[in-house]
Chain A
């Protein structure tokens, strides 16, 4: 069974800092990997989806990388802002129409 781990569990940084969130998975036979943002009491907002054949994907200040062979993905956030404060979830697609989620990294960006 696919196990997804996210480190760190929580992170607090001053505004403007660049930061990296980590996601690791145990089974490298994946179709894709998706990063989500979850705000308190809200649903999950899709940030980036990386296909298994891709190494990275970028959207604005976000860059996600994927190293399938080592079972790792990182989400890089440049020039963090207080509005980036949320929980970030990594989800690995390794079976048809089924994603396995990590526990998330709770990010707090201080003004």
Chain B
């Protein structure tokens, strides 16, 4: 069964450094998402992306964050200057069509654990 793949599985970085988290969504999917889960807290929405632009973003997704689909297969999340509170598990997800308008299920990757020291 096709999967969403994320790399790396674990990233350690120092405060203030830039990190790029990478994702390869399922190949025929058109909608892409980033969610994160701080240890012991709920999974929370960051951003959704369709047709090469952001379709929805949360209040967490400030100017320090950006997303990009640099080619036909990768979807990346960049954090420009990491803070201690950015430490979390970051999940990439994709759906074939709009998950809400067309009831297309979300498919998640295994996540990247980001540790900011």
Asked if B100 and A32 make an inter-chain contact with CB atoms under 8 angstroms apart, the answer reads yes
Contact B103 A49 (CB under 8 A): yes
Whether A103 is near chain B, meaning CB under 8 Å from some CB there, is yes
Q: Judge whether A24 is part of the interface by a CB distance below 8 angstroms.
A: no
Q: Which residue of B4, B33, B45 contacts A100 across the interface (Cβ within 8 Å)?
A: B45
Q: Is B39 an interface residue (CB 8 A)?
A: no
In the assembled complex, B68 has its CB within 8 A of some CB on chain A: no
Identity of the chain B residue whose Cβ is nearest the Cβ of A52 in the assembled complex: B103
Per DSSP, chain A at the interface is strand
Among the 9-residue stretches A67-75, A77-85, A89-97, the one with 4 or more Cβ atoms under 8 Å from chain B is A89-97
Residue B25 CB within 8 A of the other chain? no
Interface: A60 (CB within 8 A) = no
Produce 1/0 per residue, A1-35, CB < 8 A to B. Answer: 00010000000000000000000000000011010
Interface centre among A91, A96, A98 (most CB of B within 10 A): A98
Which residues from chain B contact A51 at a C-beta distance below 8 Å? 103
Contact A103–B42 (Cβ < 8 Å): yes
- A43 touching B31 in the complex, CB below 8 Å, given contacts A93-B99, A96-B100, A97-B98: no
**Contacts of A58 on B, CB cut-off 8 Å?**
none
Is there a chain A Cβ closer than 8 Å to B18's Cβ? no
Residues 17-59 of chain B, each 1 if its beta carbon lies under 8 Å from chain A, else 0: 0000000000000010101000001111100101000011010
Instruction: Tell me, rounded to whole Å, the shortest Cβ–Cβ distance linking B21 to chain A.
Output: 13
- A43 to B43 CA separation, bound complex (whole angstroms): 11
Residue of B4, B33, B50, B105 ringed by the most chain A CB atoms within 10 A: B105
A44 & B56 in contact (Cβ 8 Å cutoff): no
Q: How far is the CB of A50 from chain B (nearest CB, A)?
A: 9
Taking CB atoms, residues of chain B closer than 8 Å to A88 are none
Contacts of A43 in B (CB 8 A): 4, 6, 91, 108-111
The reply to whether B56 and A98 form a contact with Cβ atoms under 8 Å apart is yes
Known: A43-B111, A44-B106. 14 other contacts (CB 8 A): A4-B42, A32-B103, A34-B106, A43-B108, A44-B91, A44-B93, A89-B43, A91-B106, A95-B56, A97-B31, A99-B45, A101-B44, A103-B41, A104-B42
